Amino acid sequence: MSIYLDHAATTPMLPAAIEAYVDAMSVVGNPASIHSQGQNAKRMLEEARETVARSVGCDPIEVVFTGGGTEAINLALKGLFWARAPRRRILVPGGEHHATMDTVEWLENHDGAEPGWLPLDRAGRVDPARVADALGTGAEDVALLSLLAANNEVGTLQPVAEIGEIAAVHGIPVHIDAVSAYGQVPIDFRALSGAGRTGASGGAGGSAGGIVALSLSAHKIGGPVGIGALVLSRRASIVPLIHGGGQQRQVRSGTQDVAAAVAFAAAASALGDVPARNVHLRALRDRLIAGVLAVVPTAVLNGAAPDGPDEQRLPGNAHFTFPGCEGESLLFLLDAAGISVSTGSACQAGIPEPSHVLRAMGRSEAEARSALRITLGRDSTGADVDAFLAALPAAHAQASRAGMNDRVPTR
Amino acid sequence: MSGGVDSAVAAARAVEAGHEVVGVHLALSRMPGTLRTGSRGCCTIEDSMDAQRAANIIGIPYYVWDFSERFKLDVVDDFIAEYAAGRTPNPCMRCNERIKFAALLDKAIDLGFDAVCTGHYASIQTDAAGNRELHRASAWAKDQSYVLGVLTAEQLEHSMFPLGETPSKAEVRAEAAERGFSVATKPDSYDICFIPDGDTRGWLAERVPASAGDILDREGNTLGRHEGAAAFTVGQRKGLQIGTPAADGKPRFVLEVRPITNTVVVGPKEALAIGLIAGSKFTWTGLAPEHPGIAFDCDVQIRAHADPVPAVAQVVSVPVPAGADSAGAGATDAGAIELVITPREPLTGVAPGQTAVLYVGTRVLGQCTIDRTVSAVPVPSAAVEPAPVAVPAARA
């Protein structure tokens, strides 16, 4: 018996996506070729691009397929930063995904970038007023602003539209990391980017302001791992990371992966009406949250309050701290009981790190080590939640005995 | 599971013996190297991946447990502090004492495990009354019982060493190859895992502040100057840079490092012969001797790969030092007890900070961190430090 409650890490591929993937893999033809078979491949690719574009409300030409969410984020951050030279400042909230944090730090160490880390409140939310403050004290040297649409650990939604408006006023381009929000909350790129926005039109050597770029990943919505997309506004100018055959608006060279794009599109078209679909997810999650707080009264729910349709929280996300327990111990004990959950993010050696998101939210090092993330997906059932709640008390009792004693010398 | 061949085979054997086994790799550094270099056998991400691949083949779950903070405090910082204090520590023993069979074992027991199983070459046996004993491995050349001498009876109760009865390392490698482990031919690790390039002296020099001081002979005469006492080890001959030759023209060796006065004592090679070692930090590996206050016969081993030497050992009360001029080195708190070991033939290459492990036959009896040594060759002129009087401790 194995119960999967780590859908934010990756969620099972949809049967329809697998079928589309396999079928497309047997089709020969490079979409860049001129002959009929190349044209057939190109048709499949562009249909896929249209489907993905529809799922986030953008034009197909604005969808740049990448090797995944991380590549999309790297392209957005580095590409916009380079295009905006000699501007140096990058405004970023604390608690972003490592794809953003590490890219910004790389630009700082190698390319003279000056990160301006924006604070998070106790719920993990960025206050738009702080963005206005940061831009008010000198927007002319700001290259770009990047933020998560929804935090991948604690599930807090950010006021991206509001922040986008503030940036647009100052002519600052904004990248939205929508990898964890995709499929969980509606995304309307056209509305976010203020298509047809007039006035703030970049100027010499700069991009237009406001939301111009948005990163997606296929495997978070039931598509395959290894493909994502950067939605890149027609208004944006960007320097490519990868040079070669000039595919995809010269922004991302390389033979395009038709089969992966087709499978991505199959998952995107299955999203359907996102809010309606997530009613079930939200109900399950609320049952999980109530259950956890009932069986472990000391547990603390992190992130925004789950308070109905207007809540500022991902519908599939529950995130707790369990004071006095290592999140790692809980993960291990639940795994032994056949239940897969997460502590948040793990580094490449498999060492659970204290949650940098909780640290950015003002929590202590100990609290940041005591975190557990439980995330639901479209296949999750009430029985999954019940099995988790049944296993939790014993795991919690044992993890409490183990305590945090590998951290602090005891003798 | 370090990512080496021994722990991989140990894990596989534990599974076959019917145990429910989980593979655990210890992350001992927050900044691990990515790839293995030279003879390193642990601590890089590559090693962690090797361990995971072995666990996959065995078919057991695998986790990385982060003990980097504990390791830094208990092993790395301790290593630096011991060196700065003029002693010669063994970080592998400290790791066994504080991490593998302490922090790791504690956590494992708390999480519901019964024992820690490692790829050490040592053997656990049971005496007639059911008490656990630690013995040397069958393969004497690979025997690692020395570094396990710090284990107490309670730790032995929760330890497993499946490689202890294996005749040779070659056999373990052959078994690993047969099992399809990629690490079957991986080189053995030597040296100290947290010093990546193996340059222990250079590594320490960056971390232990040095200031110039005097080089003395055994009579207390100043012979020259040094750049920092901690850089010297007992038995060292090179790098002394004393201008005037010894009266007898023979080379001089470091006999003692005194960090408190920042002095280094040198003398003839013969004076390196040690006739008595003693320390107040000692433990028994399993059942303690019935009458440790009465001198008993044993063998003493002072390094991982040294030969054991017949000796007499005894736990004694340390008398209150006469006068208030105890020079620091070797002085022990009044009222403390000490394990005093008298080898039947003098030992060489022994320095404070090292661990003396006592054996009776193949059985590990206990261990003691050496606080002080007494040369087998008396100082030619007036005695600088009187040999301590051994007083039998009250029987426990």
Residue with more model confidence, B118 or A198: B118
pLDDT tens digits for range A332-379: 999 999 999 999 765 555 677 789 999 999 999 999 999 999 999 999
Beta-carbon neighbour count of residue A285 at 10 Å? 24
Residue B130 and residue B193 share a domain: yes
| B68: pLDDT strictly greater than 70 | yes
The enclosing domain of B13 has a CATH number of 3.40.50.620
Alpha-carbon distance of A136 to A203, in angstroms, equals 19
Q: Closest residue of B to A346, CA-based?
A: B64
**Interchain pair B65, A409: CB under 8 A:** no
* Closest-CA distance of chain A to residue B359, Å: 27
Beta bridge partners of B25: B64
Alpha-carbon distance of A315 to B123, in angstroms, equals 55
**Interchain pair A349, B45: CB under 8 A:** yes
- Asked whether residue B26 is marked as a ligand-binding residue, the answer is yes
Specify burial of residue A389 (Cβ count, 10 A radius: 0-12, 13-18, 19+): middle
Residue that is last in its domain, among B153, B174, B200: B200
Active-site residue (options: A34, A204, A276, A347): A347
**Interchain pair B107, A399: CB under 8 A:** no
- Tell me the mean pLDDT in the region B255-264: 87
Q: How large is the ipTM?
A: 0.83
Residue that is last in its domain, among B167, B200, B233: B200
Write out the residues of chain B at the interface with chain A, using a CB-CB cutoff of 8 A: 22, 25, 27, 32, 45, 48, 52, 61, 63-67, 69-70, 73-74, 102-104, 106-107, 110-112
Confidence of residue B394 (pLDDT cuts 50, 70, 90): very low
- Asked whether residue B119 is marked as a ligand-binding residue, the answer is yes
pLDDT tens digits for range A131-150: 999 998 889 999 999 999 99
Which residues, at least 6 apart from B87, have a Cβ–Cβ distance to it below 8 Å?
B351, B352, B353, B354
Q: Closest residue of A to B30, CA-based?
A: A351
Residue B66: list chain A partners with CB under 8 A: 328, 351-352, 406
By C-alpha distance, which of A307, A183, A297, A232 is closest to A76?
Answer: A232
**Interchain pair A350, B63: CB under 8 A:** yes
Torsions phi, psi for B150 (to 5 deg)? -75, -10
Beta bridge partners of B310: B299
Q: H or E segment at A269? A: helix A258-269
Strand, coil or helix: B108: helix
Residue B287 and residue B189 share a domain: no
pLDDT above 90 covers a percentage of chain A that reads 86
- Tell me the mean pLDDT in the region B307-314: 96
Tokens (6 digits) for A219? 């495997």
Helices marked H in A145-249 = 160-169, 189-193
pLDDT above 90 covers a percentage of chain B that reads 57
Residue with more model confidence, B21 or B207: B21
B219 within domain boundaries: yes
Q: Are B194 and B227 in contact (CB under 8 A)?
A: no
Q: Which domains does chain A have, with CATH numbers?
A: 15-269 (3.40.640.10), 273-402 (3.90.1150.10)
Q: Closest residue of B to A334, CA-based?
A: B111
| A186: pLDDT strictly greater than 60 | yes
Residue with more model confidence, B173 or B45: B173
B378 within domain boundaries: yes
DSSP annotation string for A112-150: --EEEEEPB-TTSPBPHHHHHHHHHT--TTEEEEEEESB
The number of angstroms, rounded, from the C-alpha of A263 to the middle of its chain's C-alpha atoms is: 19
pLDDT above 70 covers a percentage of chain A that reads 93
* Closest-CA distance of chain A to residue B124, Å: 26
Tokens 């106790």 identify what position? A122
Residue that is last in its domain, among B146, B172, B200: B200
Q: Which of B22, B34, B46, B111 to mutate to test the interface with A (most CBs of A within 10 A)?
A: B111
Q: Which amino acid is at A286?
A: D
Strand, coil or helix: B282: strand
Q: Are A358 and A373 in contact (CB under 8 A)?
A: no
- Tell me the mean pLDDT in the region B302-324: 83
* Closest-CA distance of chain A to residue B66, Å: 6
**How many inter-chain contacts (A to B, CB under 8 Å) are there?**
57
B205 within domain boundaries: no
Alpha-carbon distance of B329 to B339, in angstroms, equals 17
DSSP annotation string for A32-65: T-SSHHHHHHHHHHHHHHHHHHHHHT--GGGEEE
Least confident span in B39-43, B64-68, B102-106, B261-265: B39-43
Which residue range is the domain that position B386 belongs to? 273-392
B330 within domain boundaries: yes
Nearest to A406 among B48, B64, B103 (CB): B103
Q: Are B41 and B189 in contact (CB under 8 A)?
A: yes
- Predicted confidence at residue B381, as pLDDT, reads 55
The enclosing domain of B331 has a CATH number of 2.40.30.10
Residue B75 and residue B20 share a domain: yes
Cα B380 to Cα B67, B163, B220, B326, B385, distances in angstroms: 50, 50, 12, 21, 12
Confidence of residue B264 (pLDDT cuts 50, 70, 90): very high
**Interchain pair B45, A406: CB under 8 A:** no
Mean pLDDT of chain B: 87
Residue B318 and residue B254 share a domain: no
Residue B297 and residue B373 share a domain: yes
- Predicted confidence at residue A183, as pLDDT, reads 95
Residue B364 and residue B240 share a domain: no
Residue B94: list chain A partners with CB under 8 A: none
pLDDT tens digits for range A245-276: 999 999 999 999 999 999 999 999 999 889 88
- Predicted confidence at residue B96, as pLDDT, reads 93
Instruction: Count up the domains in chain B and report the number.
Output: 3
Residue A14 DSSP one-character state: P
pLDDT tens digits for range A59-71: 999 999 999 999 9
Residue B264 and residue B133 share a domain: no
Residue B286 and residue B266 share a domain: no
